């Protein structure tokens, strides 16, 4: 007869002991046509396990149309964007568009009145 | 007369879902914990659907079928009753269960009974991913002695899940010869079912007839 052994703790298994676990970043598409957004990650020994686990963790509530799984090591992270000389005209907030628009409208209004 | 068949299916799914959910919080990795628990919930969902179909025929409700029968009335196979709090055994059962369940579901999908076939198709849509999960583990642990021992130990129980006619196909699937192994047959129960039943129905029995 079978004698179940009761051990109420996480048990180390072959998976953790001998196989290199990798982090897979999970990107989730909520509805068809929408952009994929980063949702989190799973730690898994290979792509197949990553899929099986991500499927349950990020799809079991019907919250996903599709997932992208990317090994973290495949991502190239880019940082540090110096802007030492305050070239604010390259930013969308570089000009006060509001004032310029007002001036342009006034000019156009005047021009229209002259034509009439 | 499809109720007995539906009850076998529903009782198996309910009890295996219950047993597997005992791993919530203690599975080998966090990811597996979430996946194993989610699969257990799916199985209980399949049980509900099958109970509902059976309940219509028997003039009762899914809850009454799930919780108001005595342990002896359950039609589940002894395989699902075992309390397996050791991972090699738990994953070996999950794998053997999916193999046997697949053969049963395939048979039901071919049924002339459109409702039964429809239910089987819906269940199979989810089971496909349960099988994928179980296969991954079986493949990975194939050479691990603890897993092999567990499969050997559980094999007679797995045979007992299926009618005689389907057993040769189960042997083929799991790569075992058809021996004169005596199965642990459906209809007999382990003491572990009584303990499970006691816990599973404890809340409901505190207020008989209440609407939840």
Rounded mean pLDDT of chain B?
95
| H or E element that contains A41 | strand A37-44
Q: Give me the number of domains chain A comprises.
A: 1
Q: Would you call A10 an interface residue with chain B, using a CB distance cutoff of 8 Å?
A: yes
Q: How many CA atoms lie within 13 A of B182 on its CB side?
A: 0
Percent of chain A beyond pLDDT 90?
53
Token pair of B93 as six digits: 């059962």
Non-local (6+) Cβ contacts of B165 within 8 A are: none
Q: Does the pLDDT value for residue A2 go beyond 50?
A: no
Domain-located, residue A3: no
pLDDT in tens, B32-89: 999 999 999 999 999 999 999 999 999 999 999 999 999 999 999 999 999 998 999 9
Q: Does residue A99 belong to any structural domain of this protein? A: yes
Q: Does A91 fall in a domain?
A: yes
* C-alpha distance from B33 to closest chain A C-alpha (Å): 9
Query: Which pTM value belongs to this model?
Result: 0.85
The mean pLDDT value for B121-147 works out to 96
For residue A62, give Cα distances in angstroms to A66, B139, B197: 10, 28, 31
Q: How far is the alpha carbon of A56 from chain B, nearest alpha carbon, in Å? A: 5
C-alpha A99: how far from its chain's center?
A: 36
CATH number for A92: 3.10.20.520
* CA–CA gap between residue A46 and residue A28 (Å, rounded): 19
The whole-angstrom distance between B86's CA and the closest CA on chain A is 6
Number of cross-chain residue pairs from A and B with Cβ atoms under 8 Å apart? 73
Full set of structural domains in chain B with CATH: 3-205 (1.20.1260.10)
Whether the Cβ atoms of residue B212 and residue B63 lie closer than 8 Å to each other: yes
> Hey, are the CB atoms on B140 and A55 less than 8 Å from each other?
no
Which residue range(s) make up the domain with A90? Answer: 18-76+86-115
Which residues in chain B have their CB less than 8 angstroms from residue A24's CB? none
């Amino acid at each position: 007869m079978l004698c179940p052994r009761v051990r109420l703790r996480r048990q180390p298994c072959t998976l953790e002991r001998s196989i290199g676990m990798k982090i897979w970043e999970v990107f989730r598409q909520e509805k068809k046509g929408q952009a994929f957004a980063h949702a989190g990650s799973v730690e898994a020994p290979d792509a197949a396990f990553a899929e099986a686990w991500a499927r349950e963790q990020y799809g079991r509530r019907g919250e996903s149309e599709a997932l992208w799984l990317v090994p973290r090591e495949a991502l190239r992270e880019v940082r540090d964007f110096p802007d030492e000389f305050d070239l604010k005209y390259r930013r969308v907030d570089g000009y006060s568009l509001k004032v310029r628009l007002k001036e342009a409208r006034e000019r156009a209004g005047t021009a229209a009145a002259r034509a009439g | 007369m499809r109720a007995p068949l539906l009850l076998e299916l529903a009782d198996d799914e309910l009890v295996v879902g219950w047993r597997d959910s005992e791993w919530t919080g203690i599975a080998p990795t966090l990811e597996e914990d979430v996946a194993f628990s989610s699969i257990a919930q799916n199985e209980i969902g399949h049980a509900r659907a099958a109970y509902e179909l059976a309940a219509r025929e028997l003039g009762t409700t899914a809850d009454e079928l799930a919780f108001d029968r005595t342990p002896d009335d359950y039609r589940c196979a002894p395989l699902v009753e075992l309390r397996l709090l050791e991972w090699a055994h738990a994953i070996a059962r999950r794998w053997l269960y999916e193999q046997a369940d697949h053969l049963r579901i395939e048979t039901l999908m071919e049924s002339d009974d459109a409702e039964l076939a429809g239910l089987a198709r819906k269940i199979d849509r989810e089971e496909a991913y349960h099988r994928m999960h179980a296969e991954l583990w079986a493949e990975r642990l194939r050479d691990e002695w603890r897993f092999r021992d567990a499969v050997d130990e559980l094999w007679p129980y797995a045979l007992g899940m299926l009618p005689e006619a389907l057993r040769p196909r189960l042997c083929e699937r799991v790569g075992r010869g058809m021996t004169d192994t005596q199965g642990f047959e459906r209809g007999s129960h382990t003491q572990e079912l009584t303990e499970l039943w006691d816990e599973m129905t404890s809340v409901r029995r505190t207020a008989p007839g209440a609407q939840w």
